């Protein structure tokens, strides 16, 4: 009796796990399909924009205004829900804070302490970026 109950519980748990795994697999597949369709639409739109700009320049011998170009190409190749612009200052601060032992920000300025090991890592990282 206990074996049949235990096997029934294990079978139910296995079935529930399998269903949740298949559901997550399906959701990822749908997400990738949507991303591929969005990328395809962006490629078509970018191609159209380039052809239109070249056609205007060739036929009318005029330059297309930057406002028109920016409005045509707005949101091209950007993922919804992710920040569009990368803040380089914030990335640099984050990288610097990753190498620091302690940092103080105040009215008298910023103080950053770096030990020898972290200074060596920072030096090596800057050498890789220079190459």
Residues 70 and 96 in one domain: no
- pLDDT value at 27 more than 80: yes
Signed CA dihedral, 67, 72, 76, 80: sign only: positive
Residue 44 has pLDDT above 60, yes or no: yes
pTM of the model: 0.51
Are 78 and 84 in contact by the 8 Å Cβ rule? The answer is: yes
- 5 and 62 both lie in a single domain: yes
* Residue 1 and residue 58 in one domain: yes
Residue 79 is predicted with a pLDDT of: 77
pLDDT at 30: 95
Query: What was the pLDDT predicted at 77?
Result: 83
Same domain flag for 54 and 38: yes
Same domain, 7 and 69: yes
Q: What are 84-93's pLDDT values in tens digits?
A: 555 666 666 6
64 and 48 in a common domain: yes
Q: Angle at Cα 105 formed by Cα 102 and Cα 107, nearest 5°?
A: 150
Residues 91 and 131 in one domain: yes
């Amino acid at each position: 009796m206990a074996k049949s109950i235990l096997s029934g519980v294990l079978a139910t748990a296995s079935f529930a796990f399998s269903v949740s795994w298949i559901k997550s697999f399906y959701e990822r597949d749908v997400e990738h399909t949507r991303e591929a369709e969005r990328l395809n639409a962006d490629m078509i739109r970018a191609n159209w924009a380039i052809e239109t700009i070249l056609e205007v320049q060739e036929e009318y011998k005029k330059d297309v205004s930057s406002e028109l170009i920016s409005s045509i190409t707005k949101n091209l190749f950007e993922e919804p829900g992710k920040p569009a612009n990368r803040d380089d200052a914030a990335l640099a601060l984050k990288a610097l804070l990753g190498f620091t032992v302690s940092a103080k920000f105040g009215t008298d300025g910023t103080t950053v302490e770096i030990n020898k090991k972290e200074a060596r890592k920072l030096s090596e990282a800057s050498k890789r970026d220079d190459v």
